[in-house]
């Protein structure tokens, strides 16, 4: 049995363990949150190095993509460097491949239409592939990077605007601690609604679940939410808020969806290659071979 372990800067309350079969291979999947403690995360990575088949970085990103450019988070690169043998992945390759396929999949398999519908992508720089797919499907996007990442009341409405922001901001923010702009530890389970009108006006809410969970208003009636890293308790919360349809870009594993970093770890282990040897085309082939599909669940 292969083993993939996610070491997350997020809350330990979201920990989980399960086994799952992908590509005919059984995997033991584990998620360990360190409640924002970077030293504990580094120690765990050192202990797991050489003991498991892949390590995922959760609660942070190692890379973000904007168009053809890739930026590396300095803090995350330091964490990843604690492993010398086992591959360390952050899920960004899955966001740049599988998540691009989610919207066409929903159109083809569930006859969902995105045309002329307002879509709030809470942090699009982190999910450029999903943002591009929603625009390509004809939705009216609101990219909330400045609103939810930095608290600035400045929505972005175009991919060009998003790319310009990324090109200017990414070289700076990737050198800052991730906790500066992203909820870590117990902040991931605290709700502090922000910019509620943008949630209210959107039919589709997409992107990082910790941003959605932290900033969504009480009323989320009839929304379509596209995200991942959703536990059973999170599903109950979304249902209580009135969310009609939940789509997780990663499949169900043990009754919940884990982060993209775990799925990327699974595919890396299946490939038998180092992450730096895998292209977007390789990941697309691995996703097809493993039969990986998004999870669609009607909550109401």
Give the pLDDT confidence of 2-23 residue by residue, as tens digits: 999 999 998 899 899 999 999 8
Q: What is the pLDDT of residue 34?
A: 94
CA atoms of 105 and 295, how far apart (whole Å) = 11
Instruction: Give the angle subtended at the CA of 160 by the CAs of 119 and 140, to the nearest 5°.
Output: 20
Q: Angle, to 10 degrees, between the axis of helix 98-110 and the axis of helix 128-136?
A: 30
What are the boundaries of each domain within the chain? 2-92+253-294, 96-251
Cα–Cα distance for residue pair 230/3, rounded to 1 Å: 21
Cβ atoms < 10 Å from Cβ of 109:
11
Could you tell me if 254 and 29 are in contact, meaning their C-beta atoms sit under 8 angstroms apart? Answer: yes
pLDDT digits (tens, 9 = 90+) for 233-262: 999 999 999 999 999 999 988 888 899 999
Does residue 184 carry a pLDDT above 90?
A: no
Residue 196 CA: distances (Å) to CA of 23, 89, 117, 228, 288: 42, 33, 17, 21, 38
Instruction: Look at residue 256 and give its three-state secondary structure.
Output: strand
CATH for 96-251, among 3.30.70, 3.40.50, 2.40.50, 3.30.1380? 3.40.50
Under 8 Å between Cβ of 32 and 12: yes
Token reading at 42: 């580094």
Give pLDDT tens digits for 279-289: 999 999 999 99
**Cα 109 to chain center, whole Å?**
22
**3-class secondary-structure state, position 133:** helix
* pLDDT of 185 strictly over 80: no
User: Which residues in the chain belong to E strands, given as ranges?
Assistant: 2-8, 16-22, 25-33, 54-58, 63-66, 69-72, 88-89, 118-121, 140-143, 204-206, 224-227, 245-248, 252-253, 256-257, 295-298
Instruction: Give φ, ψ of 98 to 5 degrees.
Output: -55, -45
Do the Cβ atoms of 59 and 229 come closer than 8 Å?
no
- pLDDT (0 to 100) of residue 70: 79
pLDDT in tens, 104-157: 999 999 999 999 999 999 999 888 899 999 999 999 999 999 999 888 999 999
CA–CA separation, 10 and 185 (whole Å): 4
Query: What is the C-alpha separation between 260 and 102, in angstroms, rounded?
Result: 13
The rounded percent of the chain whose pLDDT value lies above 70 is 98
Question: Of 64, 51, 19, whose CA–CA distance to 262 is shortest?
Answer: 19
pLDDT given for residue 261 in this prediction: 94
Q: Supply the pLDDT for residue 41.
A: 96
Would you place residue 180 in the very low, low, confident or very high pLDDT band (cuts 50, 70, 90)? confident
pLDDT above 80 for 35: yes
What's the whole-number mean pLDDT along residues 274-281?
94
Cβ-contact 139, 204 below 8 angstroms = yes
Q: Residues, the chain, total?
A: 300
Q: What is the pLDDT of residue 66?
A: 61
Our separate counts of H helices and E strands in the chain read 12, 15
Name the 3-class secondary structure at 4. Answer: strand
Give the pTM.
Answer: 0.91
pLDDT at residue 177, as a whole number: 82
Residues 6+ apart with CB under 8 A from 240: none
pLDDT in tens, 37-87: 999 999 999 999 999 999 999 988 788 766 667 788 899 999 999 999 999
The band of 189, judged by pLDDT with boundaries at 50, 70 and 90, is confident
pLDDT at 67: 61
């Amino acid at each position: 049995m292969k083993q993939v372990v996610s070491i997350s800067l997020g809350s330990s309350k979201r920990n989980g363990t399960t086994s799952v079969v992908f590509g005919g291979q059984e995997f033991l999947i584990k998620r360990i949150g360190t409640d924002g403690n970077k030293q504990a995360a580094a120690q765990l990575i050192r202990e797991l190095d050489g003991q498991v088949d892949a390590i995922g970085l959760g609660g942070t990103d190692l890379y973000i993509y904007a168009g053809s450019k890739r930026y590396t988070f300095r803090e995350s690169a330091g964490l990843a460097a604690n492993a010398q043998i086992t591959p360390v992945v952050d899920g960004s390759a899955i966001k740049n491949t599988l998540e691009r396929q989610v919207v066409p999949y929903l159109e083809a398999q569930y006859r969902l239409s995105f045309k002329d519908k307002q879509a709030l992508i809470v942090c699009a720089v982190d999910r450029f592939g999903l943002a591009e797919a929603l625009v390509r499907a004809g939705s009216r996007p609101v990219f909330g990077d400045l609103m939810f990442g930095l608290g600035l009341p400045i929505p972005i409405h175009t991919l060009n605007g998003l790319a310009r922001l990324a090109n200017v901001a990414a070289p700076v923010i990737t050198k800052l601690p991730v906790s500066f702009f992203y909820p870590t530890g117990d902040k991931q389970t605290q709700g502090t609604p922000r910019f509620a009108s943008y949630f209210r006006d959107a039919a589709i809410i997409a992107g990082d679940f910790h941003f959605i969970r932290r900033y969504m208003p009480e009323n989320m009636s009839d929304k379509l939410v596209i995200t991942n890293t959703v536990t059973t308790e999170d599903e109950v919360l979304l249902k209580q808020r009135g969310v009609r349809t939940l789509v997780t870009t990663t499949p169900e594993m043990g009754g919940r969806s884990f982060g993209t970093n775990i799925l990327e770890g699974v595919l890396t282990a299946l490939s038998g290659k180092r992450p730096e040897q895998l292209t977007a085309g390789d990941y697309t082939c691995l996703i097809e071979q493993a039969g990986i599909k998004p999870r669609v669940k009607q909550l109401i």
